[in-house]
Structure formats: C-alpha cells, structure tokens
Structure 1
Amino acid sequence: MGLFDFIRNEFIEVIDWVDNSTDTVIWKFPDNGNNIKYGAQLTVRESQVAVFINEGRIADVYQPGRYELTTQNMPIMTTLRSWKMGFESPFKVDIYFVSTKQFTNLKWGTQNPIIIRDPELKQVRVRAFGVFALRVADAGKFIKEFAGTTPVVRISDVESQLRSAIITNFSDTVAEAGVSVFDMARNYKELGDKLLPMLQDSFTGYGLELTRFYIENTSLPPEVEAFLDKTTQMNMVNDMAKFQQFQAGMALEDAAENGGGVGSAILMGGLGNFMQNSSAANAQPQSAPKEDKGQVMELLKQLGELKAAGILTDEEFTAKKAELLARL
C-alpha cells in the first residue's frame, strides 16, 4: 500500500446503509476511527433517517435523499464546531441510521392476571393477549432512549420494554375507556381502537408511534365466565318470552281483521293452549285435566270480550264456553 492509498483510506467519502435485515431499528455507521472527508456523500434511503451526533449531542438529522456534507448541509454541526467561515478539513462524528418503517405483528400479553376496574362487575381479574405495530416518529428521541453505545439495536430489544409499558398501562386504560369486560369479550377491534390513542402517550416518550393495537384474546376467571353464561341464558329466555308475546299480539290482530272461525282458531292457539279444537274435546270429554279455576275464569272473561267485539259468533262463543266450563 502506497502513502497515497494510506492517506485516502483515512478519510470516509461515502456514507450509506443498505439494510438487508428485517428487524434492525438502529445501525451505527462503522467509522473505525476514520475521519469523514469534507464533501463526503451521504445517502439516506427511503424508510431511513440519518442522525449525526457530535460529542454526545444530537446535531443534524437527515431525511431520505442524497447530501454532500458541507457547511451548507450541516447547519447545526457548523454552529457546534464554530465553522463560521466554512471548513475543508476532515472531521469526526458518530452517525446512526434509524429505520422508520413500520414493524408489525409484535406480541404483547399479560403473564399473570391483572385487576381491572369494571363498570358493572366493579373489579375483575383478566388476562389479555394481542399484537401491535409501531414505527419511529422521532429518531433523535428514540436514539437517546435505546441506542446508548450499542451499534445495532433490533426490534426484539425494543419490544420487551414496550410490552411492559402496554401491560402496565392496560388496566388503567381500560378503566379510563369505561369498557366492561362484557364488551371486551365481544368487541376486540372496537376496544383496541379505543385503547390505541390512550396507550400512545407511553410510546411518545420513546419517540415511537403506535400504529396498530389489537386484542386477540381475553381470559376471565372461571366463576366470571359461568356468570356470563348464565346471563346469556337469561337474555335468551327473556327474548323468547317477548317473542311469544309478539306472536300472541299478532294473533289478536289477525283475529280482529279476519273475524269468524279463522280468527277464533288463531286466537285460541295464542291464549296458551288452554282451548283445544272442538273435535278433540268432543272425542275425549272425560279425559281433559282439571284446570286452575282462576285461569279458566280469566279465559271466560276474555271470551265474553271477544264476543262483544264481534270477533266470535254466538255459536263459537257457546261451544268454547262449554269446553271451558267442563274443565272446572
């Protein structure tokens, strides 16, 4: 190696980062003690940011593009180094490249149940799991929090700390959102959308943007799950009772519109199966079970009202009245 080659190798002329990985967030340019040549070419590719650090202080930050390192393109460095009249000599500076692409499918979850203040159950223990996505929004702040003297920082190095931040704030955030565990188990996407801006505060301090936050699964104590099952069954019973009331009301309306035998047949089915068709009643008059007197008297009253309204004919009224009296 000649003297000229030795001197040339002491100066860095091209600065760039070709990222062949999928998980690198911070990469320190390896200067190996070399000085950066005045007028060196800096290339910052898409989804990258280059950060110059001078004596531990963040100086210039370069967005994607191609730059020639001169005093015009290094305004903060020029001020820090007091290069008022420009410079042509080499200089030293730490250069970090930060990936600004979105990192997806990062896992989070509660290792142990956490207590959540619930608007309906007051307090309940819940375990939750899901995924989130992020990107670097403030490269300078992110380097301060995670780089230190480490030349390479991968997303796995960041993920564990952010996962702890999510779990720490999860219970308080759910309580602040006012979402019950009943809704949590049914509307994961909607709940995730509500929690995302609330959790963002924790990520902002690291210079990060939380772009996606999903809840994939929640686990409740067995006794709470049993209570939820009973509640669902109760709701089903209530809904069925309302449906039967609706059918009875429709039967009354049809009877009023149709009148005569057709209307009375529909009505009798809606009164709770106390009245059978005439042929069955005549075929087994002795086998009909005795009904509660109060129920039969109520049906007789309703029959009288239907006859007065003109829905039942005299013959139908007499026949059905005889059937009911035989049940006493």
Structure 2
Amino acid sequence: MIPIAFFFGGGKRTDQTAGHKEGLSGSMTIAWDDQFKRQNIMWKVPRNVRMNDNVVVREDEIAVFYRDGKVLAYLDRPDRYALTSQNAPILGRLIQALSGVVQQAEVYYLQKRIFDGKFGTQDAFLFQDPDFDMVQLRAFGDFRYRLKDPETFVNQFVGTFGAATSAEVEDRIKGEVVKQLNVTLGKMKANGLKVVDFAASLNDIEQGTLANSKPHFLTLGIEILQISGLNIPLPDSIKEALEKMASAKVLGRTNAAAYQQFAFADSMKAAAANPSGTAGTGVGLGAGIGMGYAMGSQMGGMVAQPPQQQQMRACPKCGTMNPANVKFCGNCGADTTVAAGSKPCIKCGKPVPPGLKFCGECGAPQTLRCPDGHEVPGNMKFCPECGKPVKS
C-alpha cells in the first residue's frame, strides 16, 4: 500500500525544497512554510508550476506566476488553488497561459508584511563643502518598507535586475536608498547645507531622503515607509579643524584667519619638538617668539579699555561746569547751549555769539550806523564817535 503521506508530500524537508509536495500523479502542492519566511520578502519555488498543481496562498502572501520575462498573473487572496481547466472561470488568464504550448511557469511568493532594513555606504562619497572643500563621508541608517505592487515588483527585481533571492532584493533596495540620500544631500547643499550643519540637520536629511525615495520606489513596486537612525560621522581631520576654529572664536578671530594661525602654530610646535641641529633650535625659538607675540597681540585686544571721561561744559552765565549733554545749568538755570559772551539779538532777542554781525535766528544786523557813517553796536542809541543819535 502506498502511504497517504506520499500524495501530500511526506518526508523531511529542507530550506531548499520546503514548500512543494509532490504526489503520485506528478502534480505538486506548493506552499511557503512559515518557518522559512523569516525576513525574506520573496521566495522562488524551486520547480516550475504546471497544470494540475495546487498553490496554497496564506493571508500574508501573494503568489506571482512569471514566464518569458513578464508576470502572467498573481494570487493575493488566501486559498488553495487547483490549476485545472475546471477553475478557468476563477483563475482566468493564468489557466489560459498554462494551457498553451508551454504549460508551466515560475512561481514567486511575496510577503505583504512590513520589513525593517539597514543601509550604509560601502565606499565613502564626496561632499563639496565651502569651508573644507571635498570631504569624504559615510552614512548609515535604518529604513522600513513593504510590498506595494506585486506585478511591478517581480517585473523589476526579477525581470530587470535579475534577482533570484530575497537577499539580492534587499541589497538592491539598500543601494537605491543610498542613491536617494546622495540626491537629498545634493539638493540641501545647493540651499546652503555644510558639513558643520549635519548634526543639527539629520532629521531634515531623513525626511528629505524619504520624500525623494517614495516616488522612486513606487516604480519598483515598493513603498518606503520610514527613514530613521541616520548617522553621518565626520572624518577626524574635520573634527580637529572644527575644534581649532572653536578655539579661535574664543580669541575673537575669523574662522579662516584663526585656522591658518593655529595650523602655523602646530607646525612650529612640531618642528620645535623634533629639532635638527641649529635649524631646529632656531625654528623652536622663532616659534616661541612668534607665538608669544601673537598671543600678546590677541590678549592686548582683549584687555578692557578704561571708560572715557564725560565731557563738561561751563555755564555762560555763572561759569558752573555741567555735563555737555545738559541743556540748562544746574546752578542758575541758564541755557548752557548759549556761547559765553553772547548778547541778545536787537530784533528777536535770541542770543547771538560774540563776533557775529547778524542774528542766526532772524538774520537781523547786530550793528548800526550813525548819520555820519560810523559803525555803532546795536545796543547803543548814540554814536560813541560823534554823539549823534542812532536810529534802529
């Protein structure tokens, strides 16, 4: 008697043969066992499916039938499907394709659930920075994705990229994420992003990479849900330069000048630490003198200057000294803005500084002439030369 298990696929299965059970008639029951799914988004059935085979599809799976470089059909509803002519009304074009000259096709199982992956740059990429020129960087992070369009997915990853395993699919996804990260950094650099801004801009870089990735991955049948945990470590040389610039800012120098001075000081210290005859001694001595002079100049600029004394102004009436910004004398109340010796204008009464012949307020002349033509001060009524009365 033939064991019943033979019809349904008995015996021990391995990861290479798991999922297909061959019966006495040569038909096969295909299923993707849960123990072999793990983190695999795709599994290719080792043997081509033929008419009269059975295909089992579970809740979290999609079975895709592929032949001649394109998808024939896919099954996304959980059930056990018998590939027979009797199911033609249900399976439609799949049965029609399998009933033709070539009565077989490849089967790829795809998982519907969400996957988590990690990406990283295999080689350093270049970032042109306005302060540090060409900088070699590496980037690492996490991403979350899921299957969006099974037909597009298989046509792209299997047909175009030639992927046969889930590992090859994930490697391709990682590479595409890194490409979109480079695109994002290029756009942000055009808007002024510098390497010194990376730490504060990681969230913006993640969101920018996610926004750029979504439309790109839809063309591959994948939906990118999240980019997170991004890390772009700076090279040690850049970190050292930033530390020197920070020290220079404490001394009130500009970044470029400070970096040059610190670099020169480092070279001088290195030469002094490794003297070679009299030249090394001279370099060490010169470095010490130069550094002392530079530090003295810097510290001299940092010494606080004594406050300037307040300017004072004497009252034109009583002579009391008042601050220059005070308009009226604190002793007699006179207008301190009037120059000493000023006299009131003979017409408007405004003070006229000594030596002026016309009032600065109304323009009236401050000197008169007697009938004989002698010049008479404006406050006199008779000419001191001839005694004749002066008419104003």
TM-score (norm 2): 0.49
Structure 1 residues 193 and 292: CA distance shift in structure 2, 3 A: closer
Matched residues in 2 for 1:10 and 1:299: separation? 116
**Which residue of structure 1 lines up, in the alignment, with residue 228 of structure 2?**
214
SS at match of 1:50: strand
Say if 2:120 and 2:138, in contact at 8 Å, map to a contact too.
no
CA contact (8 A) 2:88 2:96 kept: no
Paired AA for residue 91 in structure 2: M
Q: When you count helix as a share of all residues, which structure comes out higher?
A: 1
1:18 aligned partner, one-letter code:
D
Q: Deviations over 1:106-163 (max 9, x none)?
A: 2323432x22245776653322222222222222333334447x99623x33333333
Secondary structure class of the residue paired with 1:9: coil
**2:25: which partner in 1?**
10
2:39 matched to which residue of 1? Answer: 23
Task: State the alpha-carbon separation in 1 of the partners of residues 134 and 163 from structure 2.
Answer: 46
Q: 1:97 is aligned with what amino acid?
A: Y
- Counterpart for residue 139 of structure 1: 150
Alpha-carbon distance in structure 1 between the residues aligned to 2:117 and 2:76: 26
Partner residue, 1:64: 77
Q: Report deviation, 1:75.
A: 2.1
Greater relative contact order (Cα < 8 A, sep 6+): 1
Identity of aligned residues (%): 19
Aligned partners of 1:180 and 1:99: how far apart in 2? 41
* Unmatched runs of 5 consecutive residues or more in structure 1: 84-90, 239-290, 310-328
The yes-or-no answer on 1:189 pairing with 2:200 is no
Of residues 69, 94, 109, the one that matches 1:77 is: 94
Q: Contact 1:26 / 1:147 at 8 angstroms: preserved in 2? A: no
User: Is this contact kept in 2: 1:54–1:77, CA < 8 A?
Assistant: no
Q: Secondary structure at the match of 1:186?
A: helix
RMSD across aligned C-alpha pairs, in angstroms? 4.4
Distance 2:92 2:304 in 1: 98
Counterpart code for 2:105: V
Corresponding letter in the other structure for 1:73 = I
1:110/1:129 contact within 8 Å kept = no
Residues 173 and 199 in structure 1, CA contact (< 8 A), matched pair in contact too:
no
Matching of residue 166 in structure 1 with residue 177 in structure 2: yes
Shift of 1:49: 0.9
**Mapping of residues 176-325 of structure 1, within 5 Å:** 176-177=187-188, 178=191, 179-229=193-243, 295-298=307-310
SS in structure 2 at match of 1:164: helix
The count of residues paired between Structure 1 and Structure 2 equals 242
Give the C-alpha shift of residue 200 in structure 1. Answer: 3.7
Match of 2:57 in 1: 44
> Cα–Cα, structure 1 residues 204 and 180, in superposed 2: closer, same or farther, change >3 Å?
farther
1:274-312, CA deviations, whole angstroms, 9 ceiling, x for partnerless residues?
Answer: xxxxxxxxxxxxxxxxx99972414989xx77x979xxx
Inter-partner Cα distance in structure 2 for 1:25 and 1:52: 16
1:115 aligns with 2:115: no
**Residue pair 2:63, 2:110 contacting (<8 A) in 1 also:** yes
